[in-house]
């Protein structure tokens, strides 16, 4: 672990006490002052960097919520109002939050819940049930999970219910407390809502929405989904019980707003322990966003996807390059991270093939050119390769058929070629028809970067036919 | 060349050991380490690492996690075929056997998350926990919800957890239909020739000098590098052939520095290895035994393929030849080959334009039983009665997988077959019965390819025999 820098104990110097530096003028009242945070606290650089990393990593991994919603104020207000009506006034509601992946739906919901629970009354009475379509793949599992989250396992005990509806009604009945005539409001959050629509008969959805319509108990059903056509998936009886209220998070950012978002994601908050360091950091982020080459890289990212998640991946790669030796994010970091994000994976894999395998790929490319994309088999590829070898004087690559077969199978394992759907079982391996899953330009680009590529192989690749 | 790894969160001595054990992988180790960050900090929920086989992905991960003593679970998706095995292994590695025993009989993902959360309450994470899944391409064939759930496991269990997927297939082929939580994608590049030389030279034999061993590796790479770059295969081949390389040295015929003589000794041996051990036609044990025998005694090493030259009865051979001819000749050419007074085949323009590739490139075509028997009777030189023994020989050829039955089992009156042997095989068989098969093949008939007939003779597939005596 990095040791805090020990400075000599001179009257004019700063003194380190357990990682927190106290100014000399406060030394007289050290016993009192060391407990209070100093006004102009200044941490050693290693500590600051660690703090920055911790804080920003939490933010980029979605463990830390933003203080106020960015760009989604209207949706935030709408949802908060809706949930407040359920929590405080006992009104039943259902709503769907719809948006593409990484748009910030879960973040929105968490912010709204945090603001909602600031209200004392809501905090006292509101119950929450979080279900996820990936985990609760069955209505039975979902019901068990609801029972568990409402802490009603003991109440249910070993009872056997006739139907889902009975079970749910029993649970909601059990939530009625003492003298209150109405039960506590329950908030059902259904993540990956579209997966619940694939359950048998959509029982869970039907019953939850039925309860929300029939005023048995005040519940709010909030569904989160990435499919814009989610309503088409619902059965007619389920759809009719749904309130058709949808909150859309279709990001319509401009590039300037995107740059602002980058800046706000990387900036340090006001309550950072080392104020001066935070100030310097925020200034450097501002300079970074104004730099021309960085702006170009960010524009490229903006043009391909505007969502939070791809931005977080980019910023995570930049952040990982911040060290004590280089305590700022430079434009070069951003460019390098951008390059890592946009690299072509298949071209990378082509770089690692042996020369024989590369020659086979070039032979396949020629076959595709001549026969306009019709599928080929190993015999045809071998034949094409032999035509190339005949032209060369030395037969360095004159390998036996089984060796070529092994190279071909390796390419199949890497899924660079795939068998055409059909009778795979009855045909011999050499005659099974395959397709090449690579593009013309990918092969040519990979050839340029291929290490120690023999010139005649390159020329063969460039030549138009054969 | 070797730079020192440094990171504030980890001990320098441990990092030095990591660098020692991962040669030629400093850049990747450094990148992984910087992404992992200090142990108590959060890391990105899912990381996807792709690269060729034996490019060091699992090795680097294991070395990093073991040396730095981080809590981790390494799971091979080949082993854990069912969900139960997978979840049990994860809980066992991260929390111990009591946690693993809390899982019900057939656990669902919901049960796993519940048990995990329960365990987290008892032992919250002070350091990032890692789950490493090797051969992750098999996750695509598992339950549909497993892969998306694993990618966002950090969010589902609400814990400082990172899932790392290792695979040799690119991420584009993994993405589910409705999308998922995109992981951070990293590439492990392949080793260059210099890197391979450096790594393979590390296992030098103690009784020989390091230079001697690295010259051996140089020769080995010279022979095999253009065919195979897989470190594991090259390692295996190096270990198998080293004793043969040292043989002249042990016999005292050459000195260590006589590289040319050593090369001349080992090179044909390595070329033979390429055709046998590399293809796994011959087991490593057989190879080692063969090396110990004298060269004259060894003879030709029979690979697995050689054993398919099973000794067939006389008529079976002709049935097989007839099947081959029926598969690879178009039906309309039978007249020309098998009748006494035949005319020339006129190739119309239409046919010439559409015959792009020879039948030998497209594969065998199916033929009905009647045609097989017709060709058989014209090919075999003695009078054969159509008895049950002939038909049973056809069935046994199907069992031996030399013929494949194309039609359904129900169609008893018109079964169809295809010939499943290669030209080399059938040439060897026809040589044993003195039959010149090349003369009867349509692909080698065309006067345009008269040169190719010469080529077949030159290759030794067929010898010049007298013309087939007419009946």
DSSP symbols for B391-422: HHHHHHHHHTTSEEE-S-TT--SS-EEEE---
Indicate whether A457 pLDDT > 70: yes
Nearest to A359 by CA among A418, A419, A411: A411
Nearest residue to B289 via CA among B279, B274, B299: B299
- Residue A297 in contact with residue A314, Cβ under 8 Å? no
Which residues in chain A are contacts of B364 at CB distance < 8 A?
Answer: 428, 431
- Of B222, B273, B235, give the one whose Cα is nearest residue B56: B235
pLDDT at residue B173 in the model: 93
Angle CA B106–B109–B111, to nearest 5 = 65
- C-alpha to C-alpha distance for B457 and B442, rounded to whole angstroms: 16
Closest CA to A225 of A137, A306, A134: A134
Cα B197 to chain centroid distance, Å, stands at 23
Report d(CA B284, CA B225) in Å as an integer.
Answer: 20
Please state the ipTM of this predicted complex. 0.87
The interface residues of chain A toward chain B in range 124-183, judged by CB-CB distance below 8 A, are: 132-138, 141, 145, 148
Candidates B163, B227, B417: best to mutate against A (most CBs of A within 10 A) is B227
Q: Which residue of A has its CA nearest to B54?
A: A352
The whole-angstrom separation of Cα A251 and Cα A71 is: 8
Distance from CA of A28 to the nearest CA of B (A): 34
Task: Report the pLDDT value the prediction gives residue B302, as an integer from 0 to 100.
Answer: 61
Cross-chain Cβ contact A2/B8 below 8 Å: yes
B189 contacts A348? CB cut-off 8 A: yes
Q: Is A320 in Cβ contact with B34 (below 8 Å)? A: yes
Residue B24's nearest CA partner among B238, B198, B257, B223 is B198
Identify whether the C-beta of residue B462 lies closer than 8 Å to the C-beta of residue B356.
no
How far apart are alpha carbons A224 and A194 in whole angstroms?
8
**Residue in chain A nearest B417 by alpha carbon:** A426
Pairwise CA distance, residues B351 & B76, whole Å? 55
- Spatial contact of A2 and A236, defined as CB atoms under 8 Å apart: no
CA dihedral over B419, B421, B426, B429, signed as positive or negative? negative
List Cα–Cα distances, B165 to A299, A387, B45, B112, in angstroms.
Answer: 30, 42, 11, 19
- Closest CB to B50: pick one of A345, A354, A402: A345
**A29 Cα to chain B: minimum distance (Å):** 34
User: B187 contacts in A (CB within 8 Å)?
Assistant: 343, 345, 348
CB contact under 8 A, A426 and B406: yes
DSSP per-residue letters across B33-97: HHHH-STTS---SEEEEEE-TTSSHHHHHHHHHHHTT--EEEEETTT--SHHHHHHHHHHHHH-H
**What is the distance between the alpha carbons of residues A182 and B417, in angstroms, rounded to a whole number?**
77
Residue A60: closest C-alpha in chain B? B44
A210: Cα separation from own chain's centroid: 33
Q: Report the alpha-carbon distance of residue B262 to residue B254 in Å, rounded.
A: 8
Q: Shortest Cα distance from B109 to chain A (angstroms)?
A: 5
Of B55, B274, B420, the CB nearest to A428: B420
Cα atoms found within 13 Å of the Cα of residue B376, Cβ hemisphere only: 23
Quick check: A41 pLDDT over 90? no
* Contact yes or no for B227 and A141 at CB 8 A: no
CB contact under 8 A, B156 and A377: no
Tell me if A451 and B173 make a contact (CB, 8 A cut-off): no
Please say whether the dihedral angle defined by the alpha carbons of residues B302, B305, B306 and B311, taken in this order, is positive or negative.
positive
Strands A417-419 and A434-436: antiparallel
State yes or no: pLDDT of A338 exceeds 90: yes
Distance separating the N- and C-terminal Cα atoms of chain B: 78
CA pair distance A388, A271, nearest whole angstrom = 69
Q: Which of A141, A324, A415 sits opposite B173 (nearest CB)?
A: A415
Nearest CB neighbour to A135, from listed B109, B173, B179:
B109
Beta sheet of A186-191, edge-to-edge order: A127-132, A186-191, A219-225, A93-98, A246-248
- Residue B2: its pLDDT value, please? 46
Q: Find the closest chain B residue to A64 by CA distance.
A: B42
For residue B209, how many other CB atoms are within 10 A of its CB? 12
CA-based nearest residue in chain A for residue B229: A354
User: Cβ–Cβ of B190/A396 closer than 8 Å?
Assistant: no
Angle between helices A292-304 and A308-319 (to 10 degrees): 140
pLDDT at A75: 92
Give the H/E segment covering residue B232. helix B231-250
- Among candidates B463, B184, B437, which has minimal Cα distance to B328? B437
B113 and A135 within 8 Å at the Cβ level: the answer is yes
- Structure confidence at residue B294 (pLDDT): 55
- Taking the CA atoms of chain A, what radius of gyration do you get in angstroms? 31
**Rounded to a whole number, what is the largest CA-CA distance in chain B?**
94
Task: Report the SS3 class of residue A149.
Answer: helix
Mean of the per-residue pLDDT values for chain A? 85
What are the residue ranges of helices labelled H in B343-387?
A: 349-354, 359-362, 369-379
Dist. CA B203–CA B237, nearest whole Å: 13
Q: Are A377 and B361 inside 8 Å of each other by CB?
A: yes
Q: What is the CA radius of gyration of chain B?
A: 31
Q: What is the spatial distance between Cα A344 and Cα A350, in angstroms, rounded to a whole number?
A: 10
Nearest CA in chain B to A344: B170
Please check the confidence at residue A100 and state whether its pLDDT lies above 50: yes
Residue B19 contacts residue B7 (beta carbons within 8 Å): no
**Per-residue pLDDT in tens (0 to 9) along chain B, 471 residues:** 446 788 888 889 999 999 999 999 999 999 999 999 899 999 999 999 999 999 999 999 999 999 999 999 999 999 999 999 999 999 999 999 988 889 998 899 999 999 999 999 998 888 999 999 999 999 999 999 999 999 999 999 999 999 999 999 999 999 998 889 999 999 999 999 999 999 998 887 888 888 888 889 999 998 899 898 999 999 999 988 888 888 888 887 777 777 888 888 888 888 888 888 788 877 888 888 877 775 555 556 666 666 556 688 888 999 999 999 999 988 888 887 777 766 565 555 555 545 556 788 888 889 999 999 989 988 887 777 778 888 899 999 999 889 998 887 777 778 899 998 888 888 888 888 888 888 888 877 655 544 455 555 554 444 544 444 443
CA distance A439 to A339: 21
Identify which of B35, B40, B170 has the shortest CB distance to residue A346: B170
Whether A379 and B190 lie within 8 Å, measured CB to CB: no
Query: Which residues of chain A does B128 touch, with a Cβ-Cβ cutoff of 8 Å?
Result: none
Q: Which of residues 334-353 of A touch B (CB under 8 A)?
A: 340, 343, 345-346, 348-349, 351-353
Instruction: Please check whether residue A310 is in contact with residue A340, taking contact to mean a CB–CB distance below 8 angstroms.
Output: no
Do residues B137 and B167 lie in contact, with contact meaning Cβ atoms separated by under 8 Å?
A: yes
Residues in chain A: 466
Range scoring the smallest mean pLDDT among A15-24, A56-65, A286-295, B370-379: A15-24
Residue B471: its pLDDT value, please?
36
**Given phi > 0 = left and psi -120 to 50 = alpha, else beta, which region is B175?**
beta
Please check whether residue A423 touches B, CB under 8 A. Answer: no
Q: How far is B251 from chain A (nearest CA, A)?
A: 32
A392 contacts chain B (CB < 8 A): no
- Shortest alpha-carbon distance between residue B346 and chain A (Å): 26
Rounded to the nearest 10°, the torsion over CA A15, A17, A21, A25 is -60
Q: Please state, as a whole number, how many other Cβ atoms lie within 10 Å of the Cβ of residue A236.
A: 7
Q: How confident is the model at residue A173 (pLDDT cuts 50, 70, 90)?
A: confident
B37·A348 Cβ contact <8 A: no
Q: What is the pLDDT of residue B467?
A: 42
How many residue pairs bridge chain A and chain B with CB atoms within 8 Å of each other? 169
- Contact between B208 and B246 under an 8 Å Cβ cutoff? The reply is yes
Nearest Cα neighbor of A417 from A453, A397, A443 is A443
Instruction: Find, among A93, A445, A40, the residue nearest to A242 by Cα.
Output: A93
Contact yes or no for A106 and B155 at CB 8 A: yes
Q: Give the closest-approach CA distance of A368 to chain B in angstroms.
A: 14
Chain B neighbors of A57, CB-CB under 8 A:
37, 41-43
């Amino acid at each position: 672990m990095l040791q805090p820098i020990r400075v000599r104990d001179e009257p004019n110097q700063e003194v380190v006490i357990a990682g927190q530096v106290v100014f000399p003028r406060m030394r007289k009242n050290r016993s009192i002052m060391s407990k209070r945070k100093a006004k102009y606290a200044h941490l050693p650089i290693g500590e600051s960097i660690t703090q920055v990393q911790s804080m920003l990593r939490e933010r980029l991994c979605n463990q830390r919520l933003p203080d106020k919603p960015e760009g989604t104020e209207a949706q935030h207000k709408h949802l908060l109002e809706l949930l407040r009506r359920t929590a405080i006034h006992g009104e039943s509601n259902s709503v769907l939050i719809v948006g593409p992946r990484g748009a910030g739906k879960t973040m929105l919901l968490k912010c709204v819940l945090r603001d909602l629970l600031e209200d004392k009354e809501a905090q006292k009475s509101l119950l929450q049930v979080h279900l996820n379509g990936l985990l609760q793949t069955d209505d039975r599992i979902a019901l068990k999970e609801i029972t568990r989250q409402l802490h009603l396992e003991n109440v249910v005990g070993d009872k056997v219910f006739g139907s889902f509806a009975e079970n749910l009604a029993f649970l909601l009945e059990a939530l009625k407390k003492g003298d209150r005539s109405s039960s506590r409001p329950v908030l059902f959050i259904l993540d990956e809502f579209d997966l619940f629509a694939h359950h048998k008969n959509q029982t869970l959805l039907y019953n939850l929405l039925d309860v929300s319509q029939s005023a048995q108990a005040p519940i709010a059903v909030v569904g989160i989904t990435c499919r814009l056509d989610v309503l088409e998936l619902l059965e007619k009886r389920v759809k009719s019980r749904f309130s058709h209220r949808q909150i859309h998070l279709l990001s319509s950012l401009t590039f300037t707003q995107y740059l602002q978002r980058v800046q706000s994601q990387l900036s340090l908050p006001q309550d950072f322990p080392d104020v001066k360091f935070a100030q310097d950091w925020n200034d450097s982020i501002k300079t970074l966003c104004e730099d021309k080459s960085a702006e170009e890289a960010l524009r490229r990212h903006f043009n391909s996807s505007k969502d939070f998640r791809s931005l977080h991946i980019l910023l995570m790669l930049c952040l990982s390059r911040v060290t004590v030796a280089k305590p700022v994010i430079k434009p070069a970091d951003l460019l390098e991270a951008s390059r890592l994000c946009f690299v072509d994976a298949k071209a990378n894999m082509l770089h690692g093939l042996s020369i024989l395998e590369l020659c086979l790929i070039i032979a396949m490319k020629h076959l595709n050119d001549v026969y306009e994309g019709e599928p080929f088999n190993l015999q045809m590829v071998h034949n094409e390769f032999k035509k190339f070898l005949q032209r060369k004087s030395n037969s360095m690559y004159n390998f036996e058929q089984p060796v070529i077969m092994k190279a071909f199978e390796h390419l199949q394992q890497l899924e660079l070629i795939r068998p055409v759907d059909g009778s795979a079982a009855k045909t011999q391996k050499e005659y099974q028809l395959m397709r090449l899953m690579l593009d013309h330009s990918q092969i040519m680009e990979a050839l340029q970067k291929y290490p120690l590529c023999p010139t005649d192989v390159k020329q063969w690749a460039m030549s138009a036919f054969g | 060349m070797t730079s020192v790894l440094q990171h504030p969160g980890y001990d320098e001595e441990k990092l030095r050991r990591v660098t020692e054990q991962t040669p030629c992988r400093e850049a990747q180790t450094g990148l992984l380490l910087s992404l992992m960050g200090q142990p108590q900090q959060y890391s990105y929920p899912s990381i996807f690492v792709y690269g060729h086989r034996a490019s060091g992905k699992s090795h680097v991960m294991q070395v990093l996690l073991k040396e730095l003593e981080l809590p981790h679970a390494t799971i091979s998706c080949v082993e854990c075929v069912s969900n139960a095995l997978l979840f049990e292994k994860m809980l066992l590695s991260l929390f111990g056997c009591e946690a693993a025993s809390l899982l019900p009989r057939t656990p669902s993902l919901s049960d796993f998350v519940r048990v995990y959360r329960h365990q987290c309450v008892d032992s919250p994470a002070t350091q990032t926990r890692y789950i490493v899944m090797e051969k992750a391409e098999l996750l695509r064939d598992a339950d549909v919800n497993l892969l998306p759930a694993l990618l966002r496991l950090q969010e589902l269990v609400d814990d400082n957890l990172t899932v790392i997927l290792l695979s040799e297939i690119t991420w584009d082929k993994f993405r589910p239909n409705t999308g998922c939580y995109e992981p951070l994608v990293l590439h492990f590049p392949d080793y260059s020739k210099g890197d391979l030389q450096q790594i393979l030279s590390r296992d030098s034999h103690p009784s020989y000098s390091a230079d001697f061993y690295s010259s051996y590796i140089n020769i080995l790479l010279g022979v095999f590098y253009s065919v195979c770059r897989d470190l594991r295969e090259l390692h295996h081949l190096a270990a198998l052939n080293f004793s043969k390389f040292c043989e002249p040295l042990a016999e005292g015929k050459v000195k260590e520095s006589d590289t040319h003589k050593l090369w001349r000794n080992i090179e044909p041996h390595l070329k033979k290895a390429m055709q046998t051990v590399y293809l796994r036609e011959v087991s490593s044990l057989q190879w080692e035994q063969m090396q110990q025998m004298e060269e004259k005694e060894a003879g030709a090493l029979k690979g697995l393929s050689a054993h398919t030259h099973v000794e067939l009865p006389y008529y079976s051979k002709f049935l097989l030849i007839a099947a081959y001819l029926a598969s690879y000749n178009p039906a309309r050419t039978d007249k020309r080959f098998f009748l006494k007074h035949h005319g020339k085949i006129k190739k119309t323009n239409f046919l010439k334009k559409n015959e792009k590739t020879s039948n030998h490139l497209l594969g065998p075509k199916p033929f009905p039983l009647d045609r097989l028997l017709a060709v058989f009777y014209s090919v075999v030189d003695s009078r054969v009665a159509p008895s049950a023994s002939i038909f049973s020989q056809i069935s046994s050829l199907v069992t031996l997988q030399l013929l494949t039955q194309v039609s359904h089992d129900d169609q008893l009156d018109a079964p169809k077959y295809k010939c499943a042997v290669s030209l080399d095989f059938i040439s060897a068989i026809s040589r044993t019965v003195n039959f010149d098969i090349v003369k009867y093949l349509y692909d080698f008939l065309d006067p345009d390819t008269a040169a190719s007939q010469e080529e077949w003779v030159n290759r030794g597939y067929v010898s010049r025999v007298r013309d087939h005596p007419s009946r």
